[in-house]
Chain A
C-alpha cells in the first residue's frame, strides 16, 4: 500500500472511531455538566440499545426502523433511570451519586444476565456493516464512512438543538449554573430529564455502531464504551461539551495510531497507558483540554 492510501485509510478509521468516541463522551458529559454526576450506568444504556437491536431485529422491519426503535429504548431507559434512581439522591454529595450510578449499572447488568443470557448474542445486522469499498489499493469499510457522517450529523444536530431551542438554552444555562437557572424559573426536573434523554440517545447511536463493529451484544457490552467515554471526557474536560467532542476525536486518532504503529507487545499495555494518562490529566490539568464555559459555548 502506498503512503497516500495508508494515510487516507488512517484518517477514515480515525475519524469514524473518533466520532463514535465523541458521541460516547458527549452522553456522559451532558449529564455531568448539570448534575456533577459521573454516570457509570451510561454503559448500560448502550446495552439496552444493544438488546433492542437484538429484539427488534427479529422482526421483519427494515434495519433503519430497528435502529430507531433501539435508540428510543435507550432514551426511555435513560429517562427512567434518572426518575427512579438519581432524582431521589440528586441533592446528596458526589460520592452518594457515584455509588448510586455504580449500583444502577450493576443492577441493569445483573437483570440482563438473569433475564436474557450471559452469553454474547448476535443481532441481525444488515450486510452493510461488513462490506468494504475498494478504490484501487484503498479498502474502506462502508460502516466507517457511515460512522463519520452519522457522527458529524449527530454533533451538528445536537449543536442546533442546544442553540435554537428553549430547552437547549435551558440545558446550557443549567450546566453553567444550575441554581441560578432554577431561580430564573426553569423547571429542574424537565432540564435533567432532557439531559438524560440526550444521554440515552447518544448511547443508542453509539450502540448501533459499536455493536456493528463487534457484531455481538452481552450484559457487559457497555463497559468498554463507558470507559472510553471516561478517558475522552477527562482528556477534553469533564465540564465542556466541546471538550468532550475534542477528547473523543483525539482519543480516536490516538487509538488507531497506536494500533497501527506500535509493536504488539507495547500495545497490550494501551489501556494501562490511557488510564495512566487520565490520572495525570486529573492531576496536572483537571479542566482538560478545554476550559469549562458553557455560556460561551457551541456558538
Chain B
C-alpha cells in the first residue's frame, strides 16, 4: 500500500490536516447559512437552500465520478426516484388524493403516511436499491460506453415517470406537497453527505478505487477488484441523489418529471467539473460558485428586462428580451475550464488547514506531484 507509505513520508499530510477538510467545508456552509439568516431575505434564503441541495447532489456525483474516473449523466434518474418515492410516503391519503389523483385508492401505498424523516430514509433506500441493482451490470462498462449507458438510464427513468400516472401523475405537475425542507434541513443534509463523501474517499475501498482509476491493470495485479469499488461508489452515489431528490421535492412543493432532465443534469455536472471532480472540496466549491454566479446573472438579466419594459436608455441598448443568459455563461465557463484547467479550480486537491497556512506570509508551498489531466492530483 504505497499510499500509506507516502502519507508517512509527507509530514504535512497529518491526520489533523486530512480531517480538517470536511470541517472547513461544513464551516463554510454554516457561514453561508448564517449570512442568509442575517439578510432575512426570502429570495436569498431560497437560493441558498437550493444551493445546498445542489451541493449535496454534486458531492454525491463526486463520490462516483471522482473516485472511479467514470462520467455519469444518470444521477437525475435517482433524483427522480427519490423525489417521487419520498412523497408516496410523506403525504397523507387525503393529500395524495390531490397530489397523485391517479393512484388507486385500493393500493397499499395509498394508505401509507410516515414522518418526513422516515419518508426520506425510505426514498434513500429505494434509490439506493435501484442503483445497486442496475449497477451490477453497469459497472462492467468503461469510458464513453458507461456514460452513454447512464444517459440512456436517465431517459428510461424519465419516460417511465412521464407515463406511469398511478405513481407520478404522468407529465402533469404534482401539487400541494407539504414544505418540510428548509435551509437548516438542507444544510444538515449537505453536511452529512460531505462527511460521507470524505469518509468514502479515505476508506480502504475508496483508496483502492482511486488506485484502479489511475491504472486498473496495476491495481488488479495487487488484488484490487475495481468493479466492486465502482459498484459501492455508484450505489452510494445513487442513494445520495435520491436523498437530494426527496429533500428538493419537499422544498419546491410542486414538480413534474420535466424538472429532472438534461438541464438539471448539466448543472450538477458543471458544478463538479468547474470545481474539480477529483476532490470533495472541488464539488462543494463548484456548487457554491455556480449557484451564486447563476443567481447574480439572473438578477442582471431581470434588471435588463425591467429596464427594457421601462424603455430606459440602458433598456433600449439591448434589442431583445434577455433570457437564459445565465446558461450561456455557465456553458462558456465549463468549456473554458475544460480547456485551460481540466482538473477544475481545485485541481483535484482538498482544502485543508495547510491551504490557509500557505496563504499566510512566510507560508511554505508544498510541492505538488504530477497531476492527472482531469481529476487532478490524486492524494
Contact, CB under 8 Å: A114 / B160: no
Q: How far is the CB of A228 from chain B (nearest CB, A)?
A: 12
Q: How far is the CB of B169 from chain A (nearest CB, A)?
A: 15
Specify which of A100, A102, A110, A268 is in contact with B328 (CB 8 Å cutoff).
A110
Contact, CB under 8 Å: B334 / A99: yes
Contact, CB under 8 Å: A115 / B320: yes
Contact flags (1/0) for A66-93 with B, using CB distance below 8 Å?
Answer: 0000000000000000000100110011
Q: How far is the CB of B86 from chain A (nearest CB, A)?
A: 22
Contact, CB under 8 Å: B149 / A92: no
Q: Cα distance A92–B338 when bound, in Å?
A: 9
Contact, CB under 8 Å: B324 / A113: yes
Q: Cα distance A162–B120 when bound, in Å?
A: 57
Contact flags (1/0) for B296-334 with A, using CB distance below 8 Å?
Answer: 000000000000000000000000101111011011101
Contact, CB under 8 Å: A227 / B327: no
Judge if A111 is at the interface, Cβ distance under 8 Å: yes
Q: How far is the CB of A265 from chain B (nearest CB, A)?
A: 9
Contact, CB under 8 Å: A278 / B71: no
Judge if B358 is at the interface, Cβ distance under 8 Å: no
Contacts of B374 in A (CB 8 A): 92-93, 95-96
Contact, CB under 8 Å: A279 / B323: no
Judge if B240 is at the interface, Cβ distance under 8 Å: no
Q: How far is the CB of B123 from chain A (nearest CB, A)?
A: 21
Contact, CB under 8 Å: A114 / B338: no
Contacts of B262 in A (CB 8 A): 223
Contact, CB under 8 Å: A114 / B163: no
Contacts of B342 in A (CB 8 A): 89, 92, 96
Specify which of B137, B149, B269, B332 is in contact with A99 (CB 8 Å cutoff).
B269
Contact, CB under 8 Å: B141 / A283: yes
Judge if B373 is at the interface, Cβ distance under 8 Å: yes
Residue of B nearest to A115 (CB): B320
Judge if A17 is at the interface, Cβ distance under 8 Å: no
Contact, CB under 8 Å: A38 / B144: yes
A38 touching B148 in the complex, CB below 8 Å, given contacts A96-B374, A115-B320: yes
Contact, CB under 8 Å: A279 / B147: no
Specify which of B70, B149, B263, B338 is in contact with A100 (CB 8 Å cutoff).
B338
Contact, CB under 8 Å: B159 / A107: no
Contacts of A279 in B (CB 8 A): 138, 149, 152-153, 156
Contact, CB under 8 Å: B269 / A96: no
Judge if B357 is at the interface, Cβ distance under 8 Å: no
Q: How far is the CB of A187 from chain B (nearest CB, A)?
A: 22
Contact flags (1/0) for B114-129 with A, using CB distance below 8 Å?
Answer: 0000000000000000
Judge if A230 is at the interface, Cβ distance under 8 Å: yes
Judge if B69 is at the interface, Cβ distance under 8 Å: yes
Residue of B nearest to A283 (CB): B137
A113 touching B144 in the complex, CB below 8 Å, given contacts A102-B269, A268-B163: no
A275 touching B270 in the complex, CB below 8 Å, given contacts A85-B335, A96-B373, A104-B331: no
Contacts of A115 in B (CB 8 A): 320
Interface size on A, residues (CB 8 A): 41
Residue of B nearest to A272 (CB): B159
Judge if A215 is at the interface, Cβ distance under 8 Å: no
Contact, CB under 8 Å: B144 / A98: yes
Q: Cα distance A114–B26 when bound, in Å?
A: 37
Q: How far is the CB of A219 from chain B (nearest CB, A)?
A: 9
Among B141, B144, B269, the most chain A Cβ lie within 10 Å of the Cβ of B144
Specify which of A95, A118, A223, A283 is in contact with B140 (CB 8 Å cutoff).
A283
Within 8 A of A (CB), among B243-269: 262-263, 266, 269
Contact, CB under 8 Å: A36 / B144: yes
Judge if A142 is at the interface, Cβ distance under 8 Å: no
Q: How far is the CB of A235 from chain B (nearest CB, A)?
A: 12
Judge if A94 is at the interface, Cβ distance under 8 Å: yes
Judge if B1 is at the interface, Cβ distance under 8 Å: no
Q: How far is the CB of B340 from chain A (nearest CB, A)?
A: 8
Contact flags (1/0) for A192-227 with B, using CB distance below 8 Å?
Answer: 000000000000000000000000000000010001
Contacts of A276 in B (CB 8 A): 152, 156
Judge if B155 is at the interface, Cβ distance under 8 Å: yes
Judge if A106 is at the interface, Cβ distance under 8 Å: yes
A114 touching B325 in the complex, CB below 8 Å, given contacts A99-B273, A275-B156, A282-B141: yes
Judge if A271 is at the interface, Cβ distance under 8 Å: yes
Contact, CB under 8 Å: B324 / A282: no
Enumerate 25 A-B pairs (CB-CB under 8 Å) in ascending A order.
Answer: A36-B144, A89-B338, A92-B373, A93-B143, A94-B71, A95-B65, A96-B338, A98-B147, A99-B71, A99-B273, A104-B335, A106-B263, A106-B330, A110-B331, A113-B324, A223-B262, A269-B159, A269-B163, A271-B159, A272-B155, A272-B163, A275-B156, A275-B159, A282-B141, A286-B141
Residues on A lying within 8 angstroms of B by beta carbon are: 36, 38, 85, 88-89, 92-96, 98-100, 102-104, 106-107, 109-111, 113-115, 118, 223, 227, 230, 234, 238, 268-269, 271-272, 275-276, 278-279, 282-283, 286
Residues on B lying within 8 angstroms of A by beta carbon are: 65, 69-71, 73, 137-138, 140-141, 143-145, 147-149, 151-153, 155-156, 159-160, 163, 262-263, 266, 269-270, 273, 320, 322-325, 327-328, 330-332, 334-335, 338-339, 342, 373-374
Given A93-B373, A238-B144, 19 more A-B residue pairs with CB atoms under 8 Å apart are: A38-B148, A88-B339, A95-B69, A103-B266, A103-B331, A104-B331, A107-B331, A107-B335, A109-B327, A110-B328, A114-B322, A230-B151, A234-B148, A269-B159, A272-B163, A275-B159, A279-B149, A282-B141, A283-B140
User: 3 nearest interchain CB pairs?
Assistant: A107-B331, A95-B71, A272-B159
